[in-house]
């Protein structure tokens, strides 16, 4: 609660993820060749998320959270999506890999987030912010899904840097305590 990072970063991540979700779906629909494949992509994401959630829950050292890597990982995946050319033969193979990585990271993040004191407050705030953001986005007509996804990727990378700085600060504070 005391750290701004713990207070705001998870909120940015949860809100951001819901906000880009519609864009992500549009992108995924464009790259899926059939509905079956689209559904399978989602299933892979969900299974991987369950796995990630469980990994986070079975951590022994709860203070050590690897959050920086989670943010950076998500950021890189979203930026990669922005860079992918749409009509390649191997695209579905790349997408399934990205779905698994994303699911794993999200599951892990959710499990960590649910354990935080701020979680219940965030849940309320995030619904309100998402609602307002989506109304705002509904007025923006011309942005392609890939642009929004890439911007979110960059934001996630910035979160990773923030988290890194926060960790460094924590390290310097603790020894001198």
Q: State the residues that interact with other proteins by CB under 8 A.
A: 33-34, 37, 40-41, 43-44, 47-48, 50-51, 54-55, 58, 85, 87-89, 91-93, 96, 100, 103-104
CA 49, CA 105: separation in Å to the nearest integer? 7
Q: Which two tokens stand for residue 108?
A: 């892990």
The least distance separating other proteins from the CB of residue 55, rounded to whole angstroms, comes to: 5
- For residues 72 and 154, the answer to whether their CB atoms sit within 8 Å is no
CA 162, CA 71: separation in Å to the nearest integer? 10
The least distance separating other proteins from the CB of residue 105, rounded to whole angstroms, comes to: 13
Beta strands per DSSP E along 35-148: none
- For residues 129 and 15, the answer to whether their CB atoms sit within 8 Å is yes
When the beta carbons of 23 and 41 are compared against other proteins, the nearer one is 41
When the beta carbons of 26 and 37 are compared against other proteins, the nearer one is 37
When the beta carbons of 10 and 103 are compared against other proteins, the nearer one is 103
The least distance separating other proteins from the CB of residue 125, rounded to whole angstroms, comes to: 30
The least distance separating other proteins from the CB of residue 41, rounded to whole angstroms, comes to: 8
- For residues 24 and 145, the answer to whether their CB atoms sit within 8 Å is yes
When the beta carbons of 2 and 87 are compared against other proteins, the nearer one is 87
The least distance separating other proteins from the CB of residue 37, rounded to whole angstroms, comes to: 7
Which residue, chain included where needed, has tokens 């499990």? 111
When the beta carbons of 15 and 99 are compared against other proteins, the nearer one is 99
Q: Which two tokens stand for residue 94?
A: 């790349």
Q: Which two tokens stand for residue 163?
A: 């988290």
């Amino acid at each position: 609660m005391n750290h701004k990072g713990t207070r705001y970063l998870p909120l940015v991540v949860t809100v951001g993820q819901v906000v880009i979700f519609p864009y992500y779906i549009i992108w995924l629909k464009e790259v899926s060749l059939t509905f079956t494949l689209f559904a399978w992509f989602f299933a892979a994401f969900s299974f991987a998320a369950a796995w990630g959630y469980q990994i986070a829950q079975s951590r022994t050292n709860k203070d050590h959270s690897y959050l920086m890597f989670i943010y950076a990982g998500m950021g890189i995946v979203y930026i990669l999506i922005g860079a992918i050319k749409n009509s390649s033969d191997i695209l579905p193979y790349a997408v399934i890999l990205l779905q698994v990585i994303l699911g794993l990271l999200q599951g892990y993040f959710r499990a960590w987030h649910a354990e935080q004191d701020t979680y219940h407050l965030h849940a309320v705030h995030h619904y309100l912010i998402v609602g307002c953001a989506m109304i705002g986005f509904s007025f923006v007509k011309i942005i392609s899904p890939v642009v929004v996804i890439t911007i979110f990727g960059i934001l996630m990378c910035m979160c990773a840097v923030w988290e890194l700085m926060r960790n460094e600060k924590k390290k310097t504070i603790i020894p001198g305590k």
